[in-house]
Amino acid sequence: MRQWQMRGAALLIGAILLSGCGSLASNPGADFSDAPESRARPALAIPRHASYAEALAAWRGPEDVNAWIGAEFQYDMDRAVALSETARAGQPATPIIEPAAFYARPEGVCVDLARFAVETLRRVAPELRVRYLMIEFEPASVRGQVLRRHWVAVYENADGIRVVADSKRPGIIAGPYQTLQQFAEEYARLRGRQIVHYRELDSYQRKMKSAASRQVRERLE
């Protein structure tokens, strides 16, 4: 009975956080943003291509795309604040940067980077099942705005699931993992933030409710 009560309490807390009514994480010494951490390794020198079209012709797989991300990506904190839940409330949707424009000026936030990786890998390595992974953390306050969603790209090869295009760790391919839950548990520890839920998606764009209901949704328990 006690175990059931504890599980019920955990689910209730998760429901409160999902509804947006949970208290915000606001430790002033913590970094709740998706900006890059101090890189574990220096960015490597990479071949330079004059345009996105030339890069597409030269790149062969995730390693090439990831190397470019590690060398070139710059996080845009102002854009992150502008795309926060509180800043977007009642405002027109802000377009996510399309890959050619991102290649020309590789500055943005997690969803811009994820879009670049997903759409690029679908072209240079169509044999991989590349898709988005949307992670929802417990809400946190950054510059007075609420941030909770984080986007990365995931794909599968012979040894399992790998995660790439993480704005927190640009230039790192994580994995392999046997399940997404394995990654999520490790990532929650790495970020020091509770993950409320995560969802594998074919697109970063919001779906109509009927389509969204068909998406596989996994929760950490």
Q: How confident is the model at residue 20 (pLDDT cuts 50, 70, 90)?
A: very low
Per-residue confidence (pLDDT) for residue 207, from 0 to 100: 57
How is residue 6 written in tokens? 């504890």
pLDDT at 52 over 50: yes
Would you list the DSSP string of 34-61? -SPPSPSSPPPP----SSHHHHHHH--S
**CA–CA gap between residue 63 and residue 44 (Å, rounded):** 12
Summarised one tens digit per residue, pLDDT across range 146-198 is 788 999 999 999 999 999 999 999 999 999 999 999 999 999 999 999 999 99
Q: Pairing state of beta strands 160-164 and 145-157?
A: antiparallel
CA dihedral of residues 155, 156, 160, 161 (deg, nearest 10)? 20
Q: How confident is the model at residue 9 (pLDDT cuts 50, 70, 90)?
A: very low
C-alpha neighbours within 13 Å on the C-beta side of residue 116: 30
Q: Pairing state of beta strands 131-142 and 195-201?
A: antiparallel
Summarised one tens digit per residue, pLDDT across range 196-212 is 999 999 999 975 343 44
Mean pLDDT of the chain: 81
pLDDT at 64 over 80: yes
Q: How confident is the model at residue 213 (pLDDT cuts 50, 70, 90)?
A: very low
User: What single letter denotes the amino acid at residue 118?
Assistant: V
CA 134 to chain CA centroid, Å, is: 6
Tokens 């044999």: give the residue: 127
Asked if residue 141 lies in contact with residue 85, where contact means CB atoms within 8 angstroms, the answer is: no
What ranges in the chain are assigned the alpha helix state H? 2-18, 52-58, 62-72, 77-82, 85-88, 99-104, 110-124, 180-191, 209-212
pLDDT at 26 over 90: no
Asked if residue 13 lies in contact with residue 22, where contact means CB atoms within 8 angstroms, the answer is: yes
CA 45 to chain CA centroid, Å, is: 25
Per-residue confidence (pLDDT) for residue 90, from 0 to 100: 64
**CA–CA gap between residue 133 and residue 131 (Å, rounded):** 7
**CA–CA gap between residue 116 and residue 98 (Å, rounded):** 7
**CA–CA gap between residue 125 and residue 123 (Å, rounded):** 6
pLDDT at 32 over 70: yes
Q: How confident is the model at residue 111 (pLDDT cuts 50, 70, 90)?
A: very high
